[in-house]
């Protein structure tokens, strides 16, 4: 099997919401907590915590926690770029790079394209970031759409229920 074929994927979804609203959902701590994370903390390169409504910036360090997982399950990474409009890039599990690009296509519709690359090869589906992250991003992109279009958050927030697709 060619390991390069498992090193990258892109997930795309349409969202009926203004570009600025979709961008803020990706690029503010408060925005991320409304559809993706239990807790999102960002610190500037100077070490100052970002307000929940402040746009993240290149070089920010972040700490992320998810619903359905204990505090020991944490992602501590860095924002690689953020253009305050339609693109955010950050490091992720296993040394991966995630790029989110938003493109308005008319009639109030934005295409949100998420690419995860530099995925380390692993032929075990139980530990593969290609499989696990691909599944996770598919759910969370659908939840972003659900939340922004209808106000419905599909995440499981009950800490006693674990190992479900929505947490």
Q: Domain residues of the chain, as ranges?
A: 3-150
Per-residue pLDDT of 83-129, as tens digits, reads: 999 999 999 998 999 999 999 999 999 999 999 999 998 877 667 88
What was the pLDDT predicted at 1? 46
For 70-107, letters b (16+ CB in 10 Å) and e give: eeeeeeebebeebeeebbbbbbbebebbbbbbbeeeee
What was the pLDDT predicted at 2? 54
How much is the pTM?
0.93
**What contacts 4, CB < 8 A, 6 or more positions away?**
none
Residue 126 tokens read as 């139980």
Calpha distance 13→36 (Å, rounded): 15
Per-residue pLDDT of 19-73, as tens digits, reads: 999 999 999 999 999 999 999 999 999 999 999 999 999 999 999 999 988 999 9
Q: Are 111 and 12 in contact (CB under 8 A)?
A: yes
Q: What is the DSSP letter of 55?
A: P
Calpha distance 151→19 (Å, rounded): 17
Calpha distance 114→138 (Å, rounded): 10
Determine the CATH number of domain 3-150. Answer: 3.30.530.20
Torsion of CA 50, 52, 57, 61, to 10 degrees: 60
Question: Does residue 154 register a pLDDT over 70?
Answer: yes
Q: Which residue in 56, 1, 135 sits closest to 114, CA to CA?
A: 135
Q: Are 161 and 69 in contact (CB under 8 A)?
A: no
């Amino acid at each position: 099997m060619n390991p390069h074929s498992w090193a990258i994927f892109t997930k795309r979804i349409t969202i009926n919401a203004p570009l600025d609203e979709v961008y803020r959902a990706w690029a503010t701590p408060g925005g991320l907590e409304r559809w993706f994370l239990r807790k999102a903390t960002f610190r500037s390169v100077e070490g100052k915590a970002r307000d929940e409504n402040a746009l993240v910036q290149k070089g920010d360090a972040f700490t992320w926690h998810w619903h359905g997982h204990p505090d020991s399950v944490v992602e501590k990474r860095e924002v690689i770029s953020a253009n305050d409009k339609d693109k955010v890039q950050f490091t992720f599990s296993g040394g991966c790079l995630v790029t989110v690009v938003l493109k308005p296509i008319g009639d109030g519709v934005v295409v949100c394209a998420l690419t995860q690359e530099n995925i380390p090869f692993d032929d075990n589906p139980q530990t593969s970031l290609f499989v696990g992250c691909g599944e996770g991003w598919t759910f969370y992109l659908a939840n972003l759409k659900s939340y922004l279009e209808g106000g419905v958050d599909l995440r499981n927030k009950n800490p006693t229920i674990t190992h479900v697709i929505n947490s």
